[in-house]
Amino acid sequence: MTTAAESRPVEDLVVGVLGGTGPQGRGLAVRLAAVGQRVLLGSRDADRAREVAEEVAGRAATVSGGEVSVQGGSNLDVSGAADLVIVAVPYAGHAATLAELAAPLAGKVVVDCVVPMGFDELGAYVLDVEEGSVTQQAAALLPDSDVVGAFHHLSARLLEDLSQPTIDGDVMVVGDVRAATDTVQALAGRLPGMRGIYAGRLRNARQVEALTINLVSVNRRYKAHAGIRVTDV
Amino acid sequence: MTTAAESRPVEDLVVGVLGGTGPQGRGLAVRLAAVGQRVLLGSRDADRAREVAEEVAGRAATVSGGEVSVQGGSNLDVSGAADLVIVAVPYAGHAATLAELAAPLAGKVVVDCVVPMGFDELGAYVLDVEEGSVTQQAAALLPDSDVVGAFHHLSARLLEDLSQPTIDGDVMVVGDVRAATDTVQALAGRLPGMRGIYAGRLRNARQVEALTINLVSVNRRYKAHAGIRVTDV
Protein backbone atom coordinates (compact mmCIF):
# COMPACT_ATOMS: atom_id res chain seq x y z
CA MET A 1 0.00 0.00 0.00
CA THR A 2 1.15 3.52 -0.73
CA THR A 3 -1.08 5.98 1.04
CA ALA A 4 -2.03 9.36 -0.41
CA ALA A 5 0.14 11.03 2.21
CA GLU A 6 3.18 9.04 1.17
CA SER A 7 2.95 9.87 -2.54
CA ARG A 8 2.42 13.63 -2.33
CA PRO A 9 4.62 16.53 -1.25
CA VAL A 10 4.25 16.92 2.48
CA GLU A 11 3.33 20.61 2.24
CA ASP A 12 0.22 19.67 0.27
CA LEU A 13 -1.14 17.32 2.90
CA VAL A 14 -4.14 18.13 5.04
CA VAL A 15 -3.07 17.19 8.57
CA GLY A 16 -5.70 16.10 11.05
CA VAL A 17 -5.04 16.35 14.79
CA LEU A 18 -7.22 14.14 16.97
CA GLY A 19 -7.44 15.50 20.47
CA GLY A 20 -6.54 18.83 18.99
CA THR A 21 -8.07 20.78 21.86
CA GLY A 22 -5.49 19.41 24.35
CA PRO A 23 -2.15 21.13 24.91
CA GLN A 24 -0.02 18.84 22.73
CA GLY A 25 -2.52 18.72 19.87
CA ARG A 26 -3.13 22.46 19.97
CA GLY A 27 0.61 23.16 20.07
CA LEU A 28 1.30 20.95 17.05
CA ALA A 29 -1.70 22.45 15.22
CA VAL A 30 -0.60 26.05 15.72
CA ARG A 31 3.00 25.37 14.68
CA LEU A 32 1.95 23.40 11.59
CA ALA A 33 -0.61 26.02 10.61
CA ALA A 34 1.99 28.75 11.03
CA VAL A 35 4.19 27.14 8.35
CA GLY A 36 1.25 26.87 5.96
CA GLN A 37 0.12 23.30 6.59
CA ARG A 38 -3.66 22.90 6.25
CA VAL A 39 -4.87 21.60 9.60
CA LEU A 40 -8.09 19.92 10.69
CA LEU A 41 -8.45 20.02 14.44
CA GLY A 42 -10.54 17.21 15.90
CA SER A 43 -12.22 16.64 19.24
CA ARG A 44 -14.98 14.47 20.64
CA ASP A 45 -16.91 17.74 20.85
CA ALA A 46 -17.09 19.23 17.36
CA ASP A 47 -18.28 22.62 18.61
CA ARG A 48 -15.36 22.86 20.99
CA ALA A 49 -13.03 21.84 18.15
CA ARG A 50 -14.37 24.65 15.95
CA GLU A 51 -13.86 27.20 18.74
CA VAL A 52 -10.28 26.10 19.35
CA ALA A 53 -9.58 25.93 15.62
CA GLU A 54 -10.58 29.55 15.24
CA GLU A 55 -8.37 30.59 18.14
CA VAL A 56 -5.44 28.52 16.80
CA ALA A 57 -5.85 30.00 13.32
CA GLY A 58 -5.81 33.50 14.78
CA ARG A 59 -2.59 32.86 16.67
CA ALA A 60 -0.90 31.12 13.74
CA ALA A 61 -1.78 34.06 11.51
CA THR A 62 0.14 36.44 13.76
CA VAL A 63 3.43 34.72 12.86
CA SER A 64 2.68 33.19 9.45
CA GLY A 65 3.90 34.83 6.27
CA GLY A 66 1.13 33.22 4.22
CA GLU A 67 -2.37 31.82 4.35
CA VAL A 68 -3.48 29.99 7.48
CA SER A 69 -6.06 27.22 7.37
CA VAL A 70 -7.34 25.56 10.54
CA GLN A 71 -10.80 24.05 10.72
CA GLY A 72 -12.45 22.16 13.54
CA GLY A 73 -14.67 19.10 13.59
CA SER A 74 -15.38 15.81 15.30
CA ASN A 75 -12.55 13.26 15.52
CA LEU A 76 -14.60 11.15 13.11
CA ASP A 77 -15.00 13.85 10.48
CA VAL A 78 -11.36 14.88 10.77
CA SER A 79 -10.23 11.27 10.38
CA GLY A 80 -12.21 10.98 7.18
CA ALA A 81 -11.14 14.29 5.66
CA ALA A 82 -7.42 14.51 6.51
CA ASP A 83 -4.59 12.98 4.47
CA LEU A 84 -2.43 12.29 7.51
CA VAL A 85 -3.68 12.14 11.10
CA ILE A 86 -1.83 12.90 14.33
CA VAL A 87 -3.25 11.21 17.43
CA ALA A 88 -2.88 13.49 20.46
CA VAL A 89 -5.72 12.28 22.69
CA PRO A 90 -5.18 11.51 26.39
CA TYR A 91 -3.84 8.00 26.93
CA ALA A 92 -6.96 7.10 28.91
CA GLY A 93 -9.06 7.54 25.77
CA HIS A 94 -6.54 6.27 23.24
CA ALA A 95 -7.75 2.73 22.59
CA ALA A 96 -11.47 3.57 22.66
CA THR A 97 -11.02 6.54 20.34
CA LEU A 98 -9.01 4.65 17.73
CA ALA A 99 -11.19 1.54 17.85
CA GLU A 100 -14.03 3.63 16.38
CA LEU A 101 -11.89 5.23 13.70
CA ALA A 102 -10.32 2.24 11.95
CA ALA A 103 -12.50 2.67 8.85
CA PRO A 104 -11.94 6.39 8.18
CA LEU A 105 -8.22 6.05 9.00
CA ALA A 106 -7.69 3.09 6.64
CA GLY A 107 -5.13 3.81 3.94
CA LYS A 108 -3.71 6.78 5.83
CA VAL A 109 -0.57 7.62 7.72
CA VAL A 110 -1.44 7.83 11.43
CA VAL A 111 1.11 9.46 13.72
CA ASP A 112 0.80 8.66 17.41
CA CYS A 113 2.35 11.04 19.94
CA VAL A 114 0.58 9.75 23.05
CA VAL A 115 2.64 9.01 26.17
CA PRO A 116 1.54 6.31 28.66
CA MET A 117 2.25 8.40 31.74
CA GLY A 118 0.95 8.10 35.27
CA PHE A 119 1.62 10.30 38.28
CA ASP A 120 1.88 9.45 41.96
CA GLU A 121 3.57 10.97 45.01
CA LEU A 122 7.02 10.16 43.55
CA GLY A 123 6.32 11.90 40.25
CA ALA A 124 5.74 10.53 36.77
CA TYR A 125 6.03 6.89 35.76
CA VAL A 126 5.35 4.66 32.76
CA LEU A 127 2.00 2.92 32.45
CA ASP A 128 2.14 -0.62 31.09
CA VAL A 129 0.58 -1.01 27.65
CA GLU A 130 -0.43 -4.54 26.75
CA GLU A 131 0.72 -4.17 23.16
CA GLY A 132 4.16 -2.99 24.31
CA SER A 133 3.68 0.68 23.49
CA VAL A 134 0.93 3.12 22.66
CA THR A 135 2.09 3.21 19.06
CA GLN A 136 1.85 -0.56 18.80
CA GLN A 137 -1.61 -0.36 20.35
CA ALA A 138 -2.59 2.04 17.57
CA ALA A 139 -1.10 -0.30 14.97
CA ALA A 140 -3.12 -3.20 16.39
CA LEU A 141 -6.34 -1.17 16.30
CA LEU A 142 -5.67 0.29 12.84
CA PRO A 143 -4.53 -2.67 10.74
CA ASP A 144 -5.13 -0.82 7.46
CA SER A 145 -3.23 2.35 8.39
CA ASP A 146 0.51 3.04 8.32
CA VAL A 147 1.12 3.81 11.99
CA VAL A 148 4.15 5.83 13.03
CA GLY A 149 5.26 7.13 16.44
CA ALA A 150 6.59 10.71 16.65
CA PHE A 151 6.33 14.13 18.32
CA HIS A 152 6.53 12.78 21.90
CA HIS A 153 9.39 14.94 23.12
CA LEU A 154 8.09 18.35 22.13
CA SER A 155 7.09 20.51 25.06
CA ALA A 156 3.52 21.70 24.59
CA ARG A 157 4.54 24.92 26.29
CA LEU A 158 7.25 25.60 23.73
CA LEU A 159 4.99 24.61 20.85
CA GLU A 160 2.37 27.08 22.00
CA ASP A 161 4.81 29.92 22.64
CA LEU A 162 4.94 31.55 19.23
CA SER A 163 7.13 34.35 20.58
CA GLN A 164 9.94 31.80 20.07
CA PRO A 165 10.17 31.36 16.30
CA THR A 166 12.13 28.10 16.50
CA ILE A 167 12.19 25.11 18.84
CA ASP A 168 15.47 23.42 19.75
CA GLY A 169 14.86 19.70 19.43
CA ASP A 170 14.57 16.69 17.17
CA VAL A 171 11.56 14.49 16.50
CA MET A 172 12.34 10.80 16.86
CA VAL A 173 10.24 8.89 14.32
CA VAL A 174 9.59 5.15 14.71
CA GLY A 175 7.73 2.89 12.33
CA ASP A 176 7.87 -0.18 10.14
CA VAL A 177 6.88 1.40 6.79
CA ARG A 178 9.66 3.43 5.23
CA ALA A 179 7.38 5.64 3.09
CA ALA A 180 5.37 6.55 6.18
CA THR A 181 8.36 7.37 8.39
CA ASP A 182 9.84 9.40 5.53
CA THR A 183 6.62 11.42 5.29
CA VAL A 184 6.49 12.05 9.02
CA GLN A 185 10.17 13.04 9.08
CA ALA A 186 9.43 15.55 6.33
CA LEU A 187 6.45 16.90 8.28
CA ALA A 188 8.57 17.25 11.44
CA GLY A 189 11.20 19.03 9.40
CA ARG A 190 8.67 21.73 8.55
CA LEU A 191 8.62 22.86 12.19
CA PRO A 192 11.23 25.61 12.47
CA GLY A 193 14.42 24.43 14.15
CA MET A 194 13.43 20.78 14.21
CA ARG A 195 14.43 17.66 12.33
CA GLY A 196 12.65 14.35 11.93
CA ILE A 197 15.12 11.56 12.77
CA TYR A 198 14.36 7.93 11.98
CA ALA A 199 14.78 6.07 15.28
CA GLY A 200 13.80 2.46 14.66
CA ARG A 201 10.91 0.05 14.30
CA LEU A 202 7.56 -0.01 16.07
CA ARG A 203 8.82 -2.65 18.47
CA ASN A 204 11.24 -0.02 19.76
CA ALA A 205 8.55 2.65 20.23
CA ARG A 206 8.06 2.07 23.95
CA GLN A 207 11.24 3.73 25.13
CA VAL A 208 10.76 6.69 22.80
CA GLU A 209 7.32 7.29 24.29
CA ALA A 210 8.49 6.66 27.84
CA LEU A 211 11.54 8.90 27.63
CA THR A 212 9.05 11.76 27.78
CA ILE A 213 8.58 10.79 31.42
CA ASN A 214 12.29 11.33 32.07
CA LEU A 215 11.98 14.72 30.42
CA VAL A 216 9.29 15.54 33.01
CA SER A 217 11.91 14.80 35.69
CA VAL A 218 14.43 16.95 33.86
CA ASN A 219 11.89 19.78 33.70
CA ARG A 220 11.24 19.60 37.44
CA ARG A 221 14.91 19.50 38.40
CA TYR A 222 16.12 22.21 36.01
CA LYS A 223 12.97 24.35 35.66
CA ALA A 224 13.22 23.65 31.93
CA HIS A 225 11.11 22.60 28.96
CA ALA A 226 13.48 19.90 27.88
CA GLY A 227 13.62 18.14 24.53
CA ILE A 228 16.07 15.87 22.77
CA ARG A 229 18.71 16.37 20.11
CA VAL A 230 20.28 13.40 18.39
CA THR A 231 24.01 14.05 18.00
CA ASP A 232 26.28 13.10 15.08
CA VAL A 233 23.34 13.14 12.62
CA MET B 1 24.12 6.36 54.34
CA THR B 2 26.63 8.71 52.75
CA THR B 3 29.19 6.75 50.81
CA ALA B 4 32.83 7.74 50.55
CA ALA B 5 32.30 8.66 46.91
CA GLU B 6 29.48 11.04 47.80
CA SER B 7 31.43 12.99 50.40
CA ARG B 8 34.67 13.60 48.50
CA PRO B 9 35.56 15.71 45.45
CA VAL B 10 34.87 13.61 42.38
CA GLU B 11 38.37 14.11 40.97
CA ASP B 12 39.82 12.34 44.02
CA LEU B 13 37.77 9.18 43.55
CA VAL B 14 39.25 5.92 42.37
CA VAL B 15 36.86 4.69 39.68
CA GLY B 16 36.50 0.97 39.08
CA VAL B 17 35.21 -0.32 35.76
CA LEU B 18 33.82 -3.86 35.84
CA GLY B 19 33.93 -5.42 32.40
CA GLY B 20 36.63 -2.91 31.61
CA THR B 21 38.07 -5.03 28.81
CA GLY B 22 34.89 -4.64 26.71
CA PRO B 23 34.43 -1.72 24.31
CA GLN B 24 32.20 0.43 26.56
CA GLY B 25 34.25 -0.15 29.69
CA ARG B 26 37.53 0.42 27.89
CA GLY B 27 36.19 3.59 26.28
CA LEU B 28 35.03 5.02 29.60
CA ALA B 29 38.30 4.00 31.25
CA VAL B 30 40.50 5.71 28.67
CA ARG B 31 38.47 8.93 28.72
CA LEU B 32 38.39 9.07 32.53
CA ALA B 33 42.10 8.29 32.78
CA ALA B 34 42.86 11.00 30.23
CA VAL B 35 41.30 13.65 32.50
CA GLY B 36 43.30 12.40 35.47
CA GLN B 37 40.80 10.11 37.15
CA ARG B 38 42.49 7.13 38.82
CA VAL B 39 40.98 4.04 37.17
CA LEU B 40 40.90 0.39 38.18
CA LEU B 41 39.99 -1.78 35.25
CA GLY B 42 38.32 -5.05 36.17
CA SER B 43 37.64 -8.28 34.32
CA ARG B 44 36.84 -11.87 35.18
CA ASP B 45 40.37 -12.56 33.96
CA ALA B 46 42.77 -10.46 36.05
CA ASP B 47 45.71 -11.03 33.70
CA ARG B 48 43.68 -9.82 30.74
CA ALA B 49 42.58 -6.81 32.82
CA ARG B 50 46.20 -5.92 33.55
CA GLU B 51 47.12 -6.17 29.86
CA VAL B 52 44.24 -3.92 28.80
CA ALA B 53 44.93 -1.50 31.66
CA GLU B 54 48.48 -1.03 30.43
CA GLU B 55 47.29 -0.41 26.90
CA VAL B 56 44.57 2.01 28.08
CA ALA B 57 47.08 3.90 30.25
CA GLY B 58 49.40 4.24 27.27
CA ARG B 59 46.68 5.68 25.07
CA ALA B 60 45.36 8.01 27.77
CA ALA B 61 48.87 9.33 28.33
CA THR B 62 49.12 10.44 24.71
CA VAL B 63 46.37 13.03 25.27
CA SER B 64 46.57 13.71 29.01
CA GLY B 65 48.30 16.79 30.32
CA GLY B 66 49.02 15.14 33.68
CA GLU B 67 49.60 11.84 35.38
CA VAL B 68 47.71 8.79 34.16
CA SER B 69 46.81 5.93 36.49
CA VAL B 70 45.11 2.78 35.19
CA GLN B 71 45.58 -0.56 36.91
CA GLY B 72 43.98 -3.89 36.15
CA GLY B 73 42.63 -6.63 38.37
CA SER B 74 39.81 -9.07 38.91
CA ASN B 75 36.27 -7.68 39.14
CA LEU B 76 36.34 -8.74 42.79
CA ASP B 77 39.55 -6.89 43.64
CA VAL B 78 38.47 -3.80 41.73
CA SER B 79 35.09 -3.78 43.52
CA GLY B 80 36.88 -3.83 46.85
CA ALA B 81 39.47 -1.19 46.04
CA ALA B 82 37.52 1.43 44.07
CA ASP B 83 35.51 4.29 45.60
CA LEU B 84 32.93 4.26 42.83
CA VAL B 85 32.30 1.39 40.43
CA ILE B 86 30.96 1.45 36.86
CA VAL B 87 29.33 -1.79 35.69
CA ALA B 88 30.04 -2.35 32.00
CA VAL B 89 29.78 -6.13 31.73
CA PRO B 90 27.74 -7.82 28.98
CA TYR B 91 24.05 -8.07 29.92
CA ALA B 92 24.28 -11.86 29.76
CA GLY B 93 26.67 -11.84 32.72
CA HIS B 94 25.18 -8.90 34.60
CA ALA B 95 23.15 -10.61 37.31
CA ALA B 96 25.66 -13.38 38.00
CA THR B 97 28.57 -10.93 38.21
CA LEU B 98 26.85 -8.56 40.62
CA ALA B 99 25.40 -11.31 42.81
CA GLU B 100 28.97 -12.22 43.81
CA LEU B 101 30.04 -8.64 44.49
CA ALA B 102 27.40 -7.39 46.91
CA ALA B 103 29.80 -7.43 49.87
CA PRO B 104 32.73 -5.51 48.32
CA LEU B 105 30.33 -3.06 46.66
CA ALA B 106 28.42 -2.32 49.88
CA GLY B 107 28.57 1.33 50.87
CA LYS B 108 29.65 2.41 47.40
CA VAL B 109 28.15 4.23 44.46
CA VAL B 110 27.59 1.72 41.65
CA VAL B 111 26.90 3.08 38.17
CA ASP B 112 25.25 0.72 35.74
CA CYS B 113 25.60 1.38 32.00
CA VAL B 114 24.47 -2.02 30.73
CA VAL B 115 21.86 -2.17 27.96
CA PRO B 116 19.44 -5.14 27.69
CA MET B 117 19.80 -5.50 23.93
CA GLY B 118 19.08 -8.44 21.67
CA PHE B 119 19.57 -8.77 17.92
CA ASP B 120 17.59 -10.69 15.35
CA GLU B 121 17.02 -10.43 11.60
CA LEU B 122 15.11 -7.15 12.09
CA GLY B 123 17.90 -5.51 14.06
CA ALA B 124 18.18 -4.61 17.73
CA TYR B 125 15.42 -4.96 20.31
CA VAL B 126 14.91 -4.66 24.05
CA LEU B 127 15.29 -7.73 26.24
CA ASP B 128 12.81 -7.99 29.09
CA VAL B 129 14.36 -7.62 32.54
CA GLU B 130 12.30 -9.03 35.37
CA GLU B 131 13.16 -6.16 37.71
CA GLY B 132 12.02 -3.62 35.10
CA SER B 133 15.48 -2.48 34.03
CA VAL B 134 19.09 -3.54 34.32
CA THR B 135 19.72 -0.74 36.79
CA GLN B 136 16.87 -1.95 38.99
CA GLN B 137 18.28 -5.47 38.75
CA ALA B 138 21.58 -4.10 40.06
CA ALA B 139 19.77 -2.29 42.87
CA ALA B 140 18.00 -5.50 43.85
CA LEU B 141 21.28 -7.45 43.91
CA LEU B 142 23.21 -4.70 45.72
CA PRO B 143 20.90 -3.61 48.55
CA ASP B 144 23.73 -1.85 50.43
CA SER B 145 25.04 0.16 47.46
CA ASP B 146 23.74 3.41 45.97
CA VAL B 147 22.89 2.27 42.45
CA VAL B 148 22.68 4.79 39.61
CA GLY B 149 22.09 4.33 35.87
CA ALA B 150 24.23 6.38 33.47
CA PHE B 151 26.61 6.35 30.47
CA HIS B 152 24.30 4.27 28.24
CA HIS B 153 24.22 6.60 25.24
CA LEU B 154 27.94 7.10 24.70
CA SER B 155 29.23 5.47 21.58
CA ALA B 156 32.13 3.18 22.49
CA ARG B 157 33.67 4.10 19.15
CA LEU B 158 33.68 7.80 19.99
CA LEU B 159 34.92 7.16 23.52
CA GLU B 160 37.87 5.19 22.18
CA ASP B 161 38.72 7.71 19.44
CA LEU B 162 41.05 10.03 21.30
CA SER B 163 41.76 11.97 18.12
CA GLN B 164 38.48 13.71 18.94
CA PRO B 165 39.18 15.69 22.10
CA THR B 166 35.51 16.19 22.98
CA ILE B 167 32.34 14.11 22.60
CA ASP B 168 29.07 15.78 21.70
CA GLY B 169 26.46 14.33 24.04
CA ASP B 170 24.89 14.33 27.48
CA VAL B 171 24.85 11.59 30.08
CA MET B 172 21.37 10.91 31.43
CA VAL B 173 21.68 9.95 35.10
CA VAL B 174 18.88 8.10 36.91
CA GLY B 175 18.74 7.13 40.56
CA ASP B 176 16.89 7.45 43.83
CA VAL B 177 19.70 8.85 46.01
CA ARG B 178 20.44 12.48 45.37
CA ALA B 179 24.03 12.41 46.66
CA ALA B 180 24.79 9.49 44.35
CA THR B 181 23.26 11.01 41.23
CA ASP B 182 25.05 14.29 41.99
CA THR B 183 28.38 12.42 42.20
CA VAL B 184 27.77 10.60 38.93
CA GLN B 185 26.72 13.82 37.21
CA ALA B 186 29.97 15.40 38.36
CA LEU B 187 31.93 12.42 37.06
CA ALA B 188 30.16 12.59 33.69
CA GLY B 189 30.91 16.31 33.56
CA ARG B 190 34.63 15.53 33.68
CA LEU B 191 34.41 13.96 30.20
CA PRO B 192 35.23 16.77 27.75
CA GLY B 193 32.14 18.09 26.00
CA MET B 194 29.69 16.17 28.13
CA ARG B 195 27.28 16.99 30.91
CA GLY B 196 25.62 14.75 33.46
CA ILE B 197 21.88 15.46 33.45
CA TYR B 198 19.59 14.15 36.16
CA ALA B 199 16.84 12.25 34.35
CA GLY B 200 14.61 10.71 36.98
CA ARG B 201 14.25 7.84 39.41
CA LEU B 202 15.32 4.22 39.09
CA ARG B 203 11.81 3.20 38.12
CA ASN B 204 12.30 5.28 34.98
CA ALA B 205 15.65 3.70 34.09
CA ARG B 206 14.26 1.22 31.58
CA GLN B 207 13.64 3.68 28.78
CA VAL B 208 16.99 5.38 29.27
CA GLU B 209 18.72 2.03 28.86
CA ALA B 210 16.50 0.97 25.98
CA LEU B 211 16.85 4.21 24.03
CA THR B 212 20.37 2.99 23.25
CA ILE B 213 18.67 0.47 20.98
CA ASN B 214 17.03 3.29 19.02
CA LEU B 215 20.44 4.91 18.69
CA VAL B 216 21.63 1.68 17.06
CA SER B 217 18.87 2.18 14.47
CA VAL B 218 19.91 5.80 14.03
CA ASN B 219 23.51 4.69 13.52
CA ARG B 220 22.52 2.21 10.85
CA ARG B 221 20.29 4.62 8.96
CA TYR B 222 22.61 7.63 9.09
CA LYS B 223 26.04 5.93 9.29
CA ALA B 224 26.54 7.83 12.55
CA HIS B 225 27.69 7.33 16.13
CA ALA B 226 24.65 8.97 17.61
CA GLY B 227 24.23 10.26 21.13
CA ILE B 228 21.72 12.45 22.93
CA ARG B 229 21.65 16.07 23.98
CA VAL B 230 18.99 17.32 26.36
CA THR B 231 17.78 20.72 25.18
CA ASP B 232 16.78 23.73 27.30
CA VAL B 233 19.07 22.62 30.15
Distances (CA, A) of A195 to A24, A31, A191, B13: 18, 14, 8, 40
pLDDT of residue B25: 97
Number of domains in chain B: 1
* DSSP H/E element including B174: strand B169-175
Q: Give yes or no for residue A6 having a pLDDT over 80.
A: no
Total CB pairs under 8 A between chain A and B: 139
Q: Is residue B71 part of a domain?
A: yes
Supply the CATH number for residue B114's domain: 3.40.50.720
Report the SS3 class of residue A199: coil
A191 and A35 Cβ atoms separated by less than 8 Å? yes
Residue A7 above 90 pLDDT?
no
ipTM: 0.96
Find the helix packing angle between B23-34 and B46-63, rounded to 10°: 40
pTM as predicted: 0.96
Cβ <8 Å between B123 and A201: yes
Mean pLDDT value across residues A121-126:
95
- Say if B229 falls within a structural domain: no
Of the partner residues B211, B216, B227, the one whose CB lies closest to the CB of residue A211: B211
Catalogue the E-assigned strands of chain A.
14-18, 38-43, 70-74, 84-87, 109-112, 117-120, 123-126, 146-149, 169-175, 194-198, 227-231
Angle at B109 between CA B181 and CA B230, to 5 degrees: 25
Assigned domain for B230 exists: no
- Report the b/e string of B76-95 with b at 16+ CB within 10 A: bbbbbebbbbbbbbebeebb
Q: What is the pLDDT of residues B100-142, one digit of tens each?
A: 999 999 999 999 999 999 999 999 999 999 999 999 999 999 9
Q: How far is CA A101 from CA A85, A180, A191, B31, B107, in A?
A: 11, 19, 27, 53, 55
CB of B169 within 8 Å of a chain A CB? The answer is yes
Residue A115: which domain range? Answer: 8-222
What values do phi and psi take at B88, rounded to 5?
-130, 35
> Would you say residue A72 has pLDDT above 60?
yes
The per-residue pLDDT for A5 is 78
Q: What is the pLDDT of residue A143?
A: 97
Is the model's pLDDT at A213 over the cut of 70? Answer: yes
For chain B, residues with pLDDT lower than 50 are: none
Between residues A68 and A1, the one the model is more confident about: A68
Is B85 among the domain residues?
yes
- Domain for residue B54, yes or no? yes
Of the pLDDT bands very low, low, confident and very high (cuts 50, 70, 90), residue A218 is very high
Residues sharing a CB contact under 8 Å with residue B131, sequence separation 6 or more, in sequence order = B137, B139, B140
Is residue B104 situated within a structural domain?
yes
Judge whether B105 and B142 are in contact, CB under 8 Å: yes
Q: What is the pLDDT of residue B1?
A: 58
Tell me the H-state helices in chain B.
4-7, 23-34, 46-63, 75-81, 94-99, 102-105, 134-141, 156-160, 178-189, 206-222
Which pLDDT does position A2 carry in this prediction?
Answer: 67
B16/B78 Cα distance (integer angstroms): 6
Closest A-chain CA to B176: A122
- With 90 as the cut, is the pLDDT of residue A135 above it? yes
Q: Do B207 and A206 touch (CB under 8 A)?
A: yes
**Residue B6: its pLDDT value, please?**
77
CA distances from B120 to A6, A63, B124, B126, B134 (A): 28, 48, 7, 11, 20
The pLDDT assigned to B2 comes to 67
pLDDT score at B53: 98
Could you tell me if residue B87 is inside a domain? yes
Tell me whether residue B232 is in a domain.
no
Asked if residues B159 and B188 have their Cβ atoms less than 8 Å apart, the reply is no
How far off is chain B from A92, nearest CA to CA, in Å? 20
Average pLDDT of chain A, as a whole number: 96
Instruction: Please name every residue paired with A110 in a beta bridge, in sequence order, or none if there are none.
Output: A85, A147
Residue A137's nearest CA partner among A149, A125, A126 is A149
Q: What is the pLDDT of residue B221?
A: 97
Given a cut of 60, whether residue A124 has pLDDT beyond it is yes
Compute the CA torsion angle B146, B149, B150, B156 (nearest 10 deg): 120
Inform me whether the pLDDT recorded for A3 exceeds 80: no
The verdict on a CB contact (< 8 Å) between B125 and A226 is: no
